[in-house]
Amino acid sequence: MGELEPVFPFRAVLFQILFLLVAIALEAMVLRQKLRLGYQQSVQYATAINLLAVVVGWFTFLAVEPLVDPRLQAQVISYVLFDNLLNNTLKPQMGWIILVTGLIAFFMTLILKLKGLELIMRAIGTWDVPAQPKELTRTQRYARSRTGTTQYQQAASQFAIAVLQANALSFSAILLLLVVRAYILGGVT
Amino acid sequence: MIDVIRDAISQIRGLITPPRYLSWQTLLLLSLFSWLMATLAEVGGATPFTVTVLSTGSWLFLTVAIWWGLSLNPVMIGDISISPWITAAVICVFVFNPWTTERMQLAMGFWPVIATLLVAIPHFFHWNFDWTLPPASVRQDLIVLLLVNLLLSSWILFYFRVQHWFNDYPSLIAENLDNSAFVYRFGADTNNASQADLLLSSAATSLAQQLNDTPWPRVERWLLNLDNSIDSVADNIVLNAAKERVFWSLDAPRPQSLSNGYQLRLRANWLGPTAKQNGYYAEKVCTILPRTLQPRGSAEGQPEQPEQPAPTPVAQVTCSEETTEVERSA
């Protein structure tokens, strides 16, 4: 590599910090309400899972970017450096590609946040969602046949729904910010 | 004046004189001693192995001394101690020592992670190296600290990825980056031009090679079949950055007739990412003129012999020096 250009990704850093703050605030709110956590604790959990998501996202991008189709790579460069899409043969499909990438990103972050939050809570020792034992007691089996679920399944699904809602809320907020930046402040053409 | 120097010296002595046997100053002195020995060994012509061992020892002592010293006197920016990053930088300089480009990038990428390890390790070991699990609150802080430093790593690696793009496709540097939501250029736009000039000069050389001194009828046929001919010119283009070739396409509009020859515009179309709305192209103007060769043996001033047939004219290509960049209109 030749000389280094004085071009730094400071705008990316600023936007990332802004989006992280928005996501952490919203997710902490949801986690606090749904999981009945303390205020400080929910902010810390939200910080940890969002940082985990962006770190995995960055490393995935850095690993995948050199491997994709050169036309797509050119589109990525065009978007990163010039905030527009390149008029090449891939342009008609870009809408689909962005949509599918966004969907994959949403579900991958959801899985990451679910597993990540569980691991973090286990590491700290605050994981209190009980695992379903092999053998249910008599009263538990009775309750299951009556309500259709067990208390363990309910606890697990409550946890998952809380993380899903948190993730959906933060994705929507960031998408809204991106749309505002692109169409109202004038940007993507 | 001398008092000031004496004061400074005594202050430095006070700072580096070990207060106890077990202190960071001892290690610093050991490191200096080891470095001195390594220098002596190198001058004295010892085996490379000895020099390596001594200088490695010097680095190790220095690293630990800095770590120890900074953990006693932390460097604070606001409420955050940046001492681990300083120590990690010293370690990175040492570990990734031959500073090639890739190793430097690796070192910069690993730097925040090593800093995190430096913070984390003391929490996991007692003074007698017994493994211990830190309390839950510390564990949580360490997880967040690790993730923050990994994020710093990704930013650094992303910076290098952008530099990589500029290296592969140098014409991108000439573009205006103001619209970007990711990168910011410090300093004014550089006077870097795109590679168009280089590409067209190379194409002009190739054109001259193909057409110079070829008989004029063949040149006219060449020009008639311009689309294929231009492809053969394009095949011989040499660029500084070979990868950028995919973003350029060479063509030429119909040549204009001059009174006796033709004017050909070599046009390089940029197909890659650009800040310009509809892209741009660059042009270089070449004139192709017929030139009559003096028949062999006829010197200047001598009248031409009428019995010899007129020799076939051959072509001569001259291209302008400058390249003009044109932004496409919609």
Position B180 in a domain: no
CB contact under 8 Å between A48 and B144, yes or no, is: yes
On average, the pLDDT of chain B sits at 83
Give the residue among B69, B98, B104 at the shortest CA–CA distance from B86. Answer: B69
Tell whether the model's pLDDT for residue B108 goes beyond 50. Answer: yes
User: Cβ distance B151 to B157 under 8 Å?
Assistant: no
Is B187 inside any structural domain? no
Max CA pair span of chain B: 111
Question: Can you give the pLDDT at residue B294?
Answer: 66
DSSP class per residue in A106-157: HHHHHHHHHHHHHHHHHHHT----PPPPSS--HHHHHHHHHHSS-HHHHHHH
Q: Same domain, yes or no, for B22 and B125?
A: yes
pLDDT exceeds cutoff 70 at B67 = yes
B191 pLDDT above the threshold of 80? no
pLDDT (average), residues A98-107: 95
The mean pLDDT value of chain A amounts to 88
User: Is B168 inside any structural domain?
Assistant: no
Q: Which of the two residues, B130 and B115, has the higher pLDDT score?
A: B115
Q: What confidence score (pLDDT) does residue B145 get?
A: 92
Asked whether residue B120 falls in the same domain as residue B222, the answer is no
Which residue in B has a C-alpha nearest to residue A79's C-alpha?
Answer: B180
Q: Among residues 77-96 of chain A, which lie with CB inside 8 Å of chain B?
A: 77-78, 80-84, 86-88
Closest to A51 in 3D by CA, of B153, B294, B40, B54: B153
Higher pLDDT, A93 or B10: A93
Last residue of a domain, one of B91, B117, B151: B151
Q: Is the pLDDT of residue A112 over 90?
A: yes
**Residues B236, B100 share a domain:** no
pLDDT higher than threshold 70 for residue A28: yes
Cβ atoms of B184 and A8 closer than 8 Å: yes
- Given A8, A78, A86, which is nearest B159 (Cβ)? A8
Q: Are residues B22 and B107 in the same domain?
A: yes
Estimate to the nearest angstrom the gap between the alpha carbon of B239 and the chain centroid: 16
What percent of chain B is modeled with pLDDT above 70? Answer: 92
Distance from CA of A121 to the nearest CA of B (A): 9
In this prediction, residue A42 carries a pLDDT of: 92
Please give the pLDDT value at position B242: 81
Statement to judge: residues B147 and B234 lie in one domain: no
In the predicted model, what is the mean pLDDT of residues B46-74? 82
Longest dimension (CA), chain A: 73
pLDDT tens string A115-128: 999 999 888 888 87
Q: Assess whether pLDDT exceeds 90 at residue A109.
A: yes
- Residue B302 pLDDT level (bands cut at 50, 70, 90): low
Same domain membership, residue B134 and residue B31: yes
B280-295: average pLDDT: 84
Answer with the one of B90, B125, B151 that is the final residue of a domain.
Answer: B151
Residue A161: predicted pLDDT: 93
Contact A7 B175 (CB under 8 A): no
Contact A11 B166 (CB under 8 A): no
The model's pTM? 0.85
Q: What is the pLDDT averaged over residues A152-177?
A: 91
What is the tally of structural domains in chain B?
2
User: Percent of chain B at pLDDT above 90?
Assistant: 11
Q: What is the pLDDT of residue B189?
A: 62
Model pLDDT for residues B9-40, shown as the tens digit of each residue: 887 777 767 777 777 778 888 888 888 888 88
User: B120 lies in a domain?
Assistant: yes
- pLDDT over threshold 50, residue A189: no
Q: Is position B223 within any domain?
A: yes
Give the Å distances, CA to CA, from B31 to A88, B48, B59, B64, B130: 59, 19, 7, 10, 27
Domain of residue B9, residue span: 2-151
Asked whether the CA dihedral A93, A94, A100, A101 is positive or negative, the reply is: positive
Cβ contact, residue pair A82, B179, below 8 Å = yes
Q: Is residue B160 part of a domain?
A: no
Is B26 domain-assigned? yes
Would residue B175 count as lying in a domain? no
Q: CA-to-CA distance for B5 and A176, rounded, in angstroms?
A: 63
- Which one has a higher pLDDT value, A146 or A30? A30
Model confidence at A20: pLDDT above 80: yes
| Torsion angle of C-alpha atoms B151, B156, B162, B163, degrees rounded to 10 | -170
Choice among B109-118, B188-197, B291-300 with the minimum mean pLDDT: B291-300
What token pair was written down for A108? 């991958």
Please state, in angstroms and rounded to a whole number, the distance separating the CA atoms of residues A71 and A91: 9
- Assess A184–B contact: CB distance below 8 Å, yes or no: no
pLDDT tops 60 at residue B186: yes
Alpha carbon distance, N-terminus to C-terminus of chain A: 33
Query: Structural domain boundaries of chain A?
Result: 10-184
**B148: closest chain A residue by CA:** A51
pLDDT band at A188, cuts 50/70/90? very low
Which residues are within 8 A (CB) of A140 and not within 5 positions of it... i.e. 6 or more apart?
A150, A151
Closest CA to B190 of A83, A6, A81: A6
Residue (of A32, A160, A180, A167) closest to A106 by Cα position: A167
Mean pLDDT for the stretch of residues A44-72: 94
Summarize the confidence of residues B137-153 as an average pLDDT.
Answer: 92
Residues of B in contact with A124 (CB under 8 A): 136, 139-140
Under the banding of pLDDT at 50, 70 and 90, the label for residue A47 is: very high
pLDDT on residue A99: 94
